[in-house]
Amino acid sequence: MKFSSATLLVAAAATLCSCGGDGGPQPLACSDLTSANLKIPNLTITSVSDVAAANGLPAHCKIDGSLDAHTGIDGKPYAIGFELRTPVPSAWNGKFFFQGGGGTNGVIVPATGTLLNATSGTALGLGYAVASTDGGHDTGSSDATFGVDPQARSDYGYNAVGRVTVIAKQIIAAHLGSQPKRSYLLGCSNGGRDAMVAAARFPDQYDGFVAGDPGFNLPKAAIAQTWDTQQFMSAASAGQLPKDAFPATAMALVAQKITDKCDALDGVADGIVNDRVACQAAFNLDTDVPTCSGAADATCLTTAQKTALQKVMDGAKNSGGQSLYANWPWDPGIAGSGWRFWKLDAGFAPLPFNTLIGAGAMGYIFTSPPDQPNLADGGLAYQLGLSMDTDAPKIFATTSVYKESAMDFMAPPNATTLAGLKARGKLIVFHGTGDPVFSANDTIAWYEALKANDPSAAAYARLFLVPGMNHCSGGPATDVFDALGALENWVEKGVAPDTMVATTNPANADVTAAGWPANRSRPLCAYPKQAVLKQGATNTEDAASFQCQ
C-alpha cells in the first residue's frame, strides 16, 4: 500500500479519540494502545510499554509496530517498521518530531529524537512525541538486498516516511488527546534526504524541516562513490587498496597546502576556510602540492596520485566528459577522519565505507533491474567493473516490474519548485564543505536553482555551509549548533535564521589534532553570506568577533 492522501488518514484520527466533547471516548492509556483498540487498517502493534525515567530520558510510552505487511517478489516478508515514543500527557509540548533515517536504513533506531549537531538533549526530553522507522525493511543496516522488491524500494525512498507520519499522528491523538500542533522532521545524510523528500512530497504534514548534509541525489552520489574508488585504485600499486595509495600523510599534505593558500582569505588565519569561492580559484593541486621525483612521501604526491585525486574532486564523468554528479570543494576537511573513513579507509575493514555501503546500494537498490552483484569482497570488484557509460544510466531506468526509477523514488520531486513548502513550512539545510559522501556543491547548486525559480525562496528555505565539517559532523570544524532551536524560532516566532552560532566539540579528534582551543565559536551564515572578521576585532576565538557578509 503506497501512501497517497495524508489528509484523509489524518482525519481518521477523529474516530479514535473525540476528547474535546462531552461523552466522547477518553484517551487510551499506553497499555491500551493495541491494534484492536486503535482499529487502524494495515497496522500491527507489536509491543507497548510504560518506560520509567532513566539515562537522561523522561518517563514515556514506547510503541512498536509495523504497517502494510507484504511478501516481496523475492519471497521475503516486508513491512514498514516503526517506533513511537510519547511523553506522559502532562509533559507533552504538543509537538511531533520525526527522526530521519540513515544509510540504507533496515533497523529501527530508538525514537528518542536525536538533535543532530547539538551537544546534548533529545526531542523526547524537550517534550516532543517522536517517531522513527526502518524504511520498510528489517534486513539490517548494511544489507541492501531488499532492493530486489519494488515496493520495498518505494517504502525506503519515500513511502515509509509518509505512512509513519500519518499513523504516528493518529496514535498520538488516540493516546494524548489531540493532533500535534506543530510537526518537525530532522535528519542528516539519508535522514537529510528524508527531510527534503518530505518537504516536497508531504509539505501539508510538517511545519518545518532540518536537512543535514542531505543525499537528495543519492543514486547519483552512489555513482560518484564508484567513480572515486576507480580513481583511487588507479593510483594503487599491485596488491594495494585506496588506503595504501593515499595514506593519511598524503591527505594531510593536501589539506595543509589548501590551508596555506586559502586560510587568510576571510581575514584571519585560523585553520578555517570561510571564503570557499575564492579558495577554489586560488588553490591548484598541480602547482601548490609538490610532485615527487621518486617514491611518494609526506612532502609530495606522485603524478599518479595527483591525477587520481584531481579526477575525484572534479566529480564523476562518463567517457564523453558529461558530469554524472557534482564536483567537490577543496577544503581542509579533506584530511579529516570522516573523509578518510568514507573515501579511503573504513578502519574496521580495509576498504572505504563508500565501497562497503555504496556497492550494495548501487547494485541492489539504484539499478533497474537490480544488478544483484556478489559482494563477497566488500563490493570492490563490482565498483571497479561498473561502467560510467552503460551502467550509470540505470539509475534512470524503469521496467515493467520496476516502474519507478531510482531517481524517481529517491530524489525529492520538483525539488527546485517547492510550492507546498512555501505555503506552509520552513526548511533549514546545512552541509559540511568537507563532506566526503554528498558534495556540498550539489546542495549549493540545488539552492541556487531554487532561488532562480523563486527569488523569495529565502523566506522559507535557507542553506548554511559548515566549513571543514565532514559528513554530518567531525573534521576540523565548529560543528556543534542548535538547528532545531533555529527552526522553532523561525516557525513559531517568525525569526528567520540569518546565523547559527557553532562551537567546537571536545570529542572531535580532528579539532584536537588541529590544536584549536576548546572554546572556539563561529557564526554559520545563511548562504551566500560567509563569516569574516570584524574590523578591529582581536578575539578570533569568539563568534561575536565575526560578521556575515
Give me the active site residues, please.
Answer: 189, 435, 471
Helix (H, G, I), strand (E, B) or coil at 233: helix
User: Alpha-carbon Rg of the chain, whole angstroms?
Assistant: 24
For residues 172-203, one letter each, b for 16 or more C-beta atoms within 10 angstroms of the residue's C-beta and e for the rest, the string is bbbbbbebbebbbbbbbbbbbbbbbbbbbbbb
Q: Phi/psi at 423 (nearest 5 deg)?
A: -75, -25
Q: Is 542 exposed, middle or buried (0-12, 13-18, 19+ CB in 10 A)?
A: middle
Question: 126 and 113 in contact (C-beta within 8 Å)?
Answer: yes
Residue in the block written with cell 573515501: 343
Question: 412 and 421 in contact (C-beta within 8 Å)?
Answer: no
DSSP secondary structure code for residue 26 in this structure:
P
Helix (H, G, I), strand (E, B) or coil at 433: coil
Q: Phi/psi at 522 (nearest 5 deg)?
A: -145, 150
What residue type is assigned to position 31 of the chain? S
Give me the half-sphere count of Cα atoms (radius 13 Å) on the Cβ side of residue 27: 14
For residue 285, give the C-alpha cell.
593541486
Q: Is 115 exposed, middle or buried (0-12, 13-18, 19+ CB in 10 A)?
A: buried
Give helix 218-234 / helix 303-314 axis angle, nearest 10°. Answer: 170
Q: What is the pairing mode between strands 182-188 and 60-71?
A: unpaired
Helix (H) or strand (E) run with residue 168 in it: helix 160-176
Bond into 528 cis (ω within 30): yes
Question: 115 and 123 in contact (C-beta within 8 Å)?
Answer: yes
Q: Left, alpha or beta for 62 (phi > 0: left; psi -120 to 50: alpha)?
A: beta
Rounded distance between C-alpha atoms, residue 60 and residue 51, angstroms: 5
What residue type is assigned to position 66 of the chain? S
Bond into 517 cis (ω within 30): no
Question: 338 and 352 in contact (C-beta within 8 Å)?
Answer: no
Give the Å distances, CA to CA, from 299 to 69, 238, 273, 288, 510: 58, 23, 22, 12, 21
Helix (H, G, I), strand (E, B) or coil at 547: strand
Reference 477, options 499, 445, 500, 509; nearest CA is: 509
